[in-house]
């Protein structure tokens, strides 16, 4: 069995993409931790969508893009990340899904309908946390503007989706 632990983080340090060591409380690490948590929430939602293939596929595309975003965040400012961002394209797909939804407006209290809707709301609130972390990170380490827009649209999409699944 391959050994999973390295013991290199035992003193509160971790590595960015190119091996640069930073404290585990570095804003890039904190932001990636929040994105990782969002990805887990989205995975739960995706697993619960049943035969809703369109939303399952869109959420899976978002999850893959989140992994690319994490890679970019973990890349030191003076390095180039070879992984191409597709945040603008994902934003377009999210907007199309919102535009084709049957959302009629209004707010709901999460948990009053289905368990799926409650989990979607949980993912939506995590998107908002990620969005705040990204804007804070952007002050020190520039974040691609398409990523910032994608996060804002993702929370809108999840709000509409949750309302549809209530």
With respect to residue 55, please indicate whether it lies within any of the assigned structural domains: yes
Taking the CA atoms of the chain, what radius of gyration do you get in angstroms? 17
Q: Do residues 83 and 124 lie in contact, with contact meaning Cβ atoms separated by under 8 Å?
A: no
Is there a domain that residue 6 lies in? no
What pLDDT digit, counting tens, does each position of 84-117 carry? 999 999 999 999 999 999 887 777 777 777 999 9
* Cβ burial 5-41 (10 Å sphere, 16+ → b, else e): eeeeeeeeebebbeeeeeeeebbbbebbebbeebbeb
**In the chain, how many domains are there?**
1
The whole-angstrom separation of Cα 78 and Cα 101 is: 42
The structure tokens listed for 7 are 């013991």
For residue 53, the model assigns a pLDDT of 97
CATH for 98? 1.20.1200.10
Q: What is the DSSP letter of 113?
A: S
The secondary structure element, H or E, covering residue 100 is: none
110 phi/psi in degrees, rounded to 5: -55, 140
Q: Is 8 a domain residue?
A: no
**pLDDT score at 146:** 98
Interval 108-162: pLDDT, tens: 777 777 999 999 999 999 999 999 999 999 999 999 999 999 999 999 999 999 9
CB 98 within 8 A of CB 78: no
Q: With the C-alpha atoms ordered 64, 90, 74, 41, is the resulting torsion angle positive or negative?
A: negative
| Structure tokens that stand for 62 in this block | 């978002």
Question: Does the pTM of the predicted model rise above 0.85?
Answer: yes
Answer yes or no: is 1 within a domain.
Answer: no
- Sequence-ordered strand ranges (E) for the chain: 13-15, 21-23
For residue 74, being part of any structural domain is answered with: yes
pLDDT > 90 fraction of the chain, expressed in percent and rounded: 78
Q: What's the domain range around 121?
A: 14-165
> Is residue 106 assigned to a domain?
yes
2 domain-assigned: no
Note whether residue 9 is domain-resident: no
């Amino acid at each position: 069995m391959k050994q999973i632990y390295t013991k290199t983080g035992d003193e509160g340090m971790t590595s960015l993409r190119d091996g640069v060591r930073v404290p585990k409380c570095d804003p890039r690490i904190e932001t990636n931790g929040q994105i990782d948590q969002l990805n887990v929430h989205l995975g739960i939602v995706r697993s619960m969508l049943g035969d809703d293939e369109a939303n399952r596929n869109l959420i899976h595309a978002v999850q893959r893009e989140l992994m690319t975003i994490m890679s970019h965040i973990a890349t030191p400012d003076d390095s180039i990340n070879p992984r191409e961002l597709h945040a603008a394209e994902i934003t377009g797909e999210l907007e199309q899904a919102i535009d084709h939804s049957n959302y009629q407006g209004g707010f709901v209290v999460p948990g009053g309908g289905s368990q799926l809707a409650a989990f979607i709301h949980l993912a939506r609130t995590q998107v908002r946390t990620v969005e705040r972390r990204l804007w804070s990170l952007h002050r020190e380490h520039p974040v691609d503007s398409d990523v910032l827009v994608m996060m804002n649209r993702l929370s809108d999409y999840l709000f509409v989706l949750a309302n549809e699944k209530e």
